[in-house]
Structure 1
């Protein structure tokens, strides 16, 4: 590793690309302000010791001259007014990418592929095991449908800058309505179907939505979820109700329409005049995505048009290795960031085929559901959550089901959303025989902070790590005083400003809240809220939210480290560790584990074994004494385990059930276990 070499700060960009002057607090990195992978004496780039080439060159270019790097990346986008300036740094910490440019995101995702002669290529596959149907759209067909949907919205008064709430199940209308809003220059906000009326009303009010697009119902494997009554209740609760709704009528449960307010989707599109794309400023918002589990006024993450299109196009090819004509399946609801980025926008921007799946990893009909979809549609890259793979592994621990399908086209499995434990990674890698790639990012960033860039240069994988920071991200681990910590030492994971294109520029209608939530903890840095460390090679290890660090008799311990030990046990399918209040120690850890299907083991014997393993690996200081074997762990619909909620229940509090919970009955069943001491 090279030492003593100063690495240019991301703020030291070429003046021809940057507006405004940078203050002295943003000038140069000091010699002791190291980047990921730097030695304690300095250094130049992440991964010096990892034997990387194309990756390192890209990361260094993005770090030394981000404006030039992203100007090159912007050439993959079709602009109605190309950018002459790349980065506006005039009002730090509120940076803006491509401030003088103009484009239309929908035209980039659809029309330009048709214009290039690829109209007959497949754009969207809707696979719905809950209805037993599959529908395919070419780029021409999808463009025509989106243009009509845009015309229908325009007929209801939607114009550039207006907001539209989309409250739909995983049906084609969800993708079509998102793209139709983008076509008009309107701002969409997707709220996943089945969200509680009060939470939906809060989002309607915060966005001041002019129109809501919804459906009569959603379908789960064993039940019908009535959307329309919940929407009606939300509108009644809203202080600023929408002027109109568009309702997709599903035959499983029709719903009455309110005259004058509600409009049938099919009839509206049939009567609509197709609408052309409306050019918008690159800095105009494309969508608002409200973060899960919010209380009070919801926190709306804003995604702009220009930076988003550039980041999606770059990441699609370089991170995921997807090119025009490939098939990408991101098995995530469109109400979550993965669904926005890699189910809808990124594949279509790249000219690839995207799969929209209305089903579950298990239960529709079995744990082979994912492999059936991969085989039937020729999926090249699958992106899902570790939780989904753990659910599949629990039902098929020996990995028998993938062998029943032709998975020869599947090049890689990407996982994100929860920490990827080595046992799950090993099972998937051994079972599928392909690279299993962890990638770490957030709703706020919109695309991976760290990964192994399959399309740029696959990196050596380290168990438990999402690999190295992607170009554009300068990851630092800081202590409580804001100073960088040595390699291997845990701290707060932070991103040096400016963030790359595609990340949030602010929160909807609230710059102050954005700054207070993310930017004020450490000057010049974005606070991820996660804790972790960088190793000697610059590899990132994410140990969980910083509020999952517990204080046991004065010792700060990561519950993520304890979970890693539990997950290594061959009988464990899933696990969680939460810190609960203790009158003597302050906090003590509690473990909850789910056993793999078909495994017969005495819970007491298993608990004793797990306690011994944690004491051996973490030490007696962890005071890890209790493990409960449970049938399931409570999760959000995106697959995140509700650790904070479980901790509050164990502490004797009565937290509200998060509106994003997938199955409230799981949490109810755990309450007596958590409250037992």
Structure 2
């Protein structure tokens, strides 16, 4: 259902009178005290949205739908091919479970403003735990289940939670990961003392709260099932719109953790606006975000966005391939009547690598799928073309960050069905004043690549600050170009206003004085029919300073000599970019190292090939991929000199 108003006029309204625009958008939320002021700029460059308002996010996600008579509607579908379980939870059931979990946390001493760390796999209790914290006005910080003890300890010391909520373990397609020993280790490493650890036992994973009662002096261990069953459901606690809802630590953090702080009010408004206008999802629609609740995508569009909108959300505990095969996504779309799928380009590339012609999609009914949205990693035109041809539905690239919490740029499906362009996440959304500037902050011409920046104030739902770090937030994001937020990405705008995000500014390489985007080279390599996925990194060169090196993963069933492939890739780059790119070599590898959200670890690979010291980010999906790159670097050193 597209809006009667076109996108251009919506953006124009948001620029002409932003306060009125966002106060009108706030009408989609149920407030305890409705806002009369949109934004407080008295402490610029720090801004606060809806400073005079009060609400409860959990109430907006659950209670109001039940009170409206929709308690029997499905709120959440749990689909886990790794434990062979599927279950539907109504809004009434979720409200009861969240209320009791909030009562359990209250019994553990948690009050508004306290922090709770959630260290869980993709299971319904993770969603319940997040909403239970929101119900109390407590601040949750979700840490990936299975995260290393040292990294967990650093987050405990930074957030200083009163409680940890966890499960006995997580289940991967090829292994079981026990969580409780890691928690014990983290508690020993951390200076901060956690008062209570609450454990949800999983029958597939050994370990229980009772077994660790004496392992950590000063910390008590509770059983989730018994404590939550016996708890008295807790009513929603009214909080200020500016109070924090959650802390989310950015991926790849080294040293002191960098916790993005999301508020309650601005976040709720942004979720409601984006669900309706970006994704065209409303009451009763099914949205499946194939991510993890540990990522910002999972926070926004597995948990809060769909439930605030009164939709049905799918919680999928599995992989795009291997659980059991590359047809898993098509099965879920068919079985649960998914209207909108949101996933990462990496997931599509994995499916394409395993099933290049999408033969496993045959036999599944994908007719109810309205659109697929992609984010998390740059979507190369070749993957976009493949997916579009397969689905015969809009495949919509959109661009956002952990810090922004929702899309900076997108084609807004709920407003207008705009033409899509390969390689572009389309247009900046209302509130995001995007510009392309050079190193001096001067705007560059159309089609010229530069730093992507966003005018302040950022719209509702974006980060309010960093946890315990206002000055760090200013120094990290707001000081390079005063009055603007530095995204850390490079790109360009075409003459029609479409944005093209080419990669992190760290991925711009300098070849004999020429600044070149590795993203443009990756786009070319991905066009080769033998290439399933690729990355280009700049490696040290005594003559030119840096030279580009392609790392390519072959599509399944491909038979081509490496020397022939490299020659063809070099020719393609030379033809489309020119000799200035100095692209002369590539290495075939079996896998590229990525974070769990699908971001390719280009910096780490560059350090490995340069022979520099490197740190493997704790968010890496599979450490074996690092070994692949180390071996490739060792084998290639002599040839690449």
TM-score interval, smaller chain: over 0.9
Question: Is the Cα–Cα contact under 8 Å of residues 329 and 343 in structure 1 kept in the other structure?
Answer: yes
| Structure 2 SS opposite 1:404 | coil
Query: Which residue is equivalent to 1:329?
Result: 288
Q: Structure 1 residue 422 and structure 2 residue 381: aligned?
A: yes
Query: Which residue is equivalent to 1:658?
Result: 617
Q: Structure 1 residue 159 and structure 2 residue 159: aligned?
A: no
Query: Which residue is equivalent to 2:371?
Result: 412
1:209-235 deviation line (CA, Å, top 9, x unaligned) = 100001111000010011111111011
Question: Is the Cα–Cα contact under 8 Å of residues 83 and 98 in structure 1 kept in the other structure?
Answer: yes
1:21-62 deviation line (CA, Å, top 9, x unaligned) = xxxxxxxxxxxxxxxxxxxxxxxxxxxxxxx96101111111
Question: Is the Cα–Cα contact under 8 Å of residues 196 and 230 in structure 1 kept in the other structure?
Answer: yes
Q: Structure 1 residue 204 and structure 2 residue 156: aligned?
A: yes
Please point out which of 132, 139, 158 is paired with 1:187. 139
Paired residues for 1:44-83 under 5 Å: 54-83=6-35
Query: Which residue is equivalent to 2:309?
Result: 350
Query: Which residue is equivalent to 1:495?
Result: 454
Paired residues for 1:190-339 under 5 Å: 190-255=142-207, 256-259=211-214, 261-339=220-298
Question: Is the Cα–Cα contact under 8 Å of residues 299 and 508 in structure 1 kept in the other structure?
Answer: yes
1:106-126 deviation line (CA, Å, top 9, x unaligned) = 000000000000000000011
Query: Which residue is equivalent to 2:90?
Result: 138
1:91 offset after TM fit, Å?
1.4
TM-score of the superposition, structure 2-length normalised?
A: 0.97
Please point out which of 515, 534, 537 is paired with 2:496. 537
Distance of 2:520 and 2:278 partners within structure 1: 27
Q: In angstroms, what is the RMSD of aligned CA positions?
A: 1.0
More deviation, 473-482/259-268: 259-268
Question: Is the Cα–Cα contact under 8 Å of residues 649 and 671 in structure 1 kept in the other structure?
Answer: yes
Q: Structure 1 residue 398 and structure 2 residue 353: aligned?
A: no
TM-score of the superposition, structure 1-length normalised?
A: 0.92
| Structure 2 SS opposite 1:90 | strand
Distance of 2:633 and 2:165 partners within structure 1: 40
Q: Structure 1 residue 360 and structure 2 residue 315: aligned?
A: no
Query: Which residue is equivalent to 1:370?
Result: 329
1:167-188 deviation line (CA, Å, top 9, x unaligned) = 0000001000000000000000
| Structure 2 SS opposite 1:166 | strand
Q: Structure 1 residue 581 and structure 2 residue 540: aligned?
A: yes
Question: Is the Cα–Cα contact under 8 Å of residues 257 and 263 in structure 1 kept in the other structure?
Answer: no
More deviation, 522-531/244-253: 244-253
Unaligned runs of 5+ in 1: 1-51
Q: Count matched residues.
A: 626
Q: Structure 1 residue 509 and structure 2 residue 468: aligned?
A: yes
Q: Structure 1 residue 549 and structure 2 residue 508: aligned?
A: yes
Please point out which of 550, 558, 573 is paired with 2:517. 558
| Structure 2 SS opposite 1:577 | strand
Unaligned runs of 5+ in 2: none
| Structure 1 SS opposite 2:476 | helix
Question: Is the Cα–Cα contact under 8 Å of residues 289 and 343 in structure 2 kept in the other structure?
Answer: yes
Query: Which residue is equivalent to 1:452?
Result: 411
1:289-318 deviation line (CA, Å, top 9, x unaligned) = 000111111000000000000000000010
Question: Is the Cα–Cα contact under 8 Å of residues 261 and 464 in structure 2 kept in the other structure?
Answer: yes
1:674 offset after TM fit, Å?
2.4
Distance of 2:382 and 2:363 partners within structure 1: 23
Query: Which residue is equivalent to 2:630?
Result: 671
1:658 offset after TM fit, Å?
1.0
Q: Structure 1 residue 645 and structure 2 residue 600: aligned?
A: no
Please point out which of 97, 100, 108 is paired with 2:49. 97
Distance of 2:235 and 2:571 partners within structure 1: 65
Query: Which residue is equivalent to 1:33?
Result: none
Query: Which residue is equivalent to 2:566?
Result: 607
Question: Is the Cα–Cα contact under 8 Å of residues 80 and 279 in structure 1 kept in the other structure?
Answer: yes
Please point out which of 393, 409, 422 is paired with 1:434. 393
1:63 offset after TM fit, Å?
1.3
1:403 offset after TM fit, Å?
2.1
| Structure 2 SS opposite 1:315 | helix
Distance of 2:486 and 2:584 partners within structure 1: 33
1:241 offset after TM fit, Å?
2.4
1:141 offset after TM fit, Å?
0.2
1:542-592 deviation line (CA, Å, top 9, x unaligned) = 000001000111110000010011011112110000001111111111100
Question: Is the Cα–Cα contact under 8 Å of residues 109 and 348 in structure 1 kept in the other structure?
Answer: yes
Distance of 1:320 and 1:616 partners within structure 2: 38
Distance of 2:603 and 2:32 partners within structure 1: 46
More deviation, 121-130/392-401: 392-401
Query: Which residue is equivalent to 2:443?
Result: 484
Question: Is the Cα–Cα contact under 8 Å of residues 5 and 415 in structure 2 kept in the other structure?
Answer: no
1:161–1:634 Cα change, 3 Å: same
Question: Is the Cα–Cα contact under 8 Å of residues 254 and 617 in structure 2 kept in the other structure?
Answer: no
Distance of 1:590 and 1:325 partners within structure 2: 48
1:597-643 deviation line (CA, Å, top 9, x unaligned) = 11211111111100111111111111111111111111111100000
Query: Which residue is equivalent to 1:635?
Result: 594
Distance of 2:13 and 2:562 partners within structure 1: 54
Distance of 1:533 and 1:656 partners within structure 2: 31
| Structure 1 SS opposite 2:33 | coil
Query: Which residue is equivalent to 1:44?
Result: none
Question: Is the Cα–Cα contact under 8 Å of residues 402 and 432 in structure 1 kept in the other structure?
Answer: no
Distance of 1:322 and 1:627 partners within structure 2: 43
1:145-194 deviation line (CA, Å, top 9, x unaligned) = 00000000000000000000000000001000000000000000000111
More deviation, 94-103/394-403: 394-403
| Structure 1 SS opposite 2:342 | strand
1:245-288 deviation line (CA, Å, top 9, x unaligned) = 11011112221231561111101101211000000000000000
Distance of 1:53 and 1:604 partners within structure 2: 55
Question: Is the Cα–Cα contact under 8 Å of residues 502 and 519 in structure 2 kept in the other structure?
Answer: yes
Distance of 1:205 and 1:63 partners within structure 2: 41
1:242 offset after TM fit, Å?
0.9
Any runs of at least 4 consecutive aligned residues in structure 1 with deviations exceeding 2 A, and if so which?
none
